[in-house]
Amino acid sequence: MVLNYIWIAFFVIGFAFGVFGLCTGDTTLFQKMVDATFDSSKTAFETALGLTGVLALWLGIMKIGERAGAVNVLARMLSPVFTKLFPDIPKNHPVMGSIFMNIASNMLGLDNAATPTGLKAMSQMQELNPKKDTATNPMIMFLVLNTSGLTIIPTTILAFRSSYGAAQPTDVFIPILLATTVATLAGIIITSLWQHINIFQPVLLATLAGLCAFVGIVIWGFGQMDKDTMATVTSVASNFILLAIIVTFIVAGFFKKINVYDAFIDGAKEGFSTAVRIIPYLVAILVGVGVFRASGAMDMLINGIKWVVEQCGLNTDFVGALPTAFMKPLSGSGARGLMLEAMKNYGPDSFVGRLSCIFQGSTDTTFYVLAVYFGSVSIKYTRHAVACGLLADLAGVIAAIVVAYVFFH
């Protein structure tokens, strides 16, 4: 229902701005919004089409892992922690392995691996769902873990900064890591409180503390490297882990004497059908975002915030980067475009340019993830998923601003 109201609001606000534009003599605004609907629908289809091959590949690999028992091994290893965080999922259920692979892929910036494993996890949770059109608590917790976007290696952002001529492309690495960690911890705490999960259970508390310690070690380790070494390590580590997963599953399948090729084909077929199912959901959300942005409502929102900040006598340097923060929950490609626009207009080493990069890396695209993941299993009633996801995003945005002022102002 929340998505329904938000989607309606995008179009109503856009139309209202169009009417206002006509009254003030701007006759091009409606044309821009109409163009945005066609462009966004095309982008949605192209996105789904681009996902088809990746989904087929990774769901095929996951099917091999399932039949070889590798996913079940992961599930048993993670059961003590995940049974506390996902109490409604039966102990040692295979979905635990899928959830782990998705989270690990996100942390390493392996987007091509994260989405297919996430869709697989959502499909497995749907099998346990007694009300097929309503999101369950585990689905919502899983969604928030994705939208809070804990990323240890923000490879793409570092590459963009390098291409735009940043003096030290990796100088945003630690700020991004800090901001995304805050967003993830906030998401877990908020969702746990909403679902009445006791976060002070020893196992769960130790895991969260371990996560903070791990991130701290990574920050320290990368802090000892120069930019060239850091870029090499992140690239090699990401690619090595990605290929290692594929080879491990295939070898495990060989030793288990399963038909690896047939298992891959069966999983790849699921990937193709999943890609087709998510097209309508992608078209809906991206068209709504496109109209909202083309109408000028986003620009008015930013200007309004700047005025309020000025009236409070606070520094307004961060406001120039806010379009990226506001766009990120709505559209990853849109936020990426605004980040690049900020680096082009202000410079990659400017405060706004760096903060835009931190915004881009601090959280994930809440509405995109919600549309794709819930759309893949035909969930209509999202319950508290949007609220928890956006609150985690807000925590990430606030953390990004604070961290940027500490590091760069």
CA gap 325, 356 in Å, rounded: 7
Q: Tell me, what's the pLDDT at 5?
A: 75
Q: Tens digit of pLDDT for each residue in 322-376? A: 888 887 887 666 677 677 778 877 888 899 899 999 998 888 778 878 888 888 8
Q: Tell me, what's the pLDDT at 76?
A: 72
381: which strand partners?
Answer: 134
Q: Tell me, what's the pLDDT at 80?
A: 79
CA gap 379, 119 in Å, rounded: 13
CA gap 325, 330 in Å, rounded: 10
What are residue 132's phi and psi, to 5 degrees? -65, -20
Q: Tell me, what's the pLDDT at 129?
A: 92
| Residue 316: strand, helix, or coil | coil
- Tokens (6 digits) for 31: 């044309």
Q: Tell me, what's the pLDDT at 155?
A: 63
Q: Tell me, what's the pLDDT at 110?
A: 55
What are residue 381's phi and psi, to 5 degrees? -105, 110
Burial 188-215 (b: 16+ CB within 10 A, else e): bbbbbebbebebeeeebeebbeebeeeb
CB 85 within 8 A of CB 197: yes
Q: Tens digit of pLDDT for each residue in 104-149? A: 777 655 555 677 778 888 999 999 999 988 999 999 999 888 877 6
pTM for the whole structure = 0.72
Q: Which residues are CB-neighbours of 358 under 8 A, at least 6 positions away? A: 172, 175, 176, 179, 400, 403, 404
Dihedral over Cα of 94, 74, 382, 47: its sign: negative
CA gap 341, 338 in Å, rounded: 5
Residue 178 has pLDDT above 70, yes or no: yes
134: which strand partners?
Answer: 381
- Token pair 């998923």 is found at 385
Q: Tens digit of pLDDT for each residue in 381-394? A: 888 888 998 899 89
- Residue 376: closest CA among 34, 129, 182: 129
Q: Tell me, what's the pLDDT at 140?
A: 93
Residue 260 has pLDDT above 60, yes or no: yes
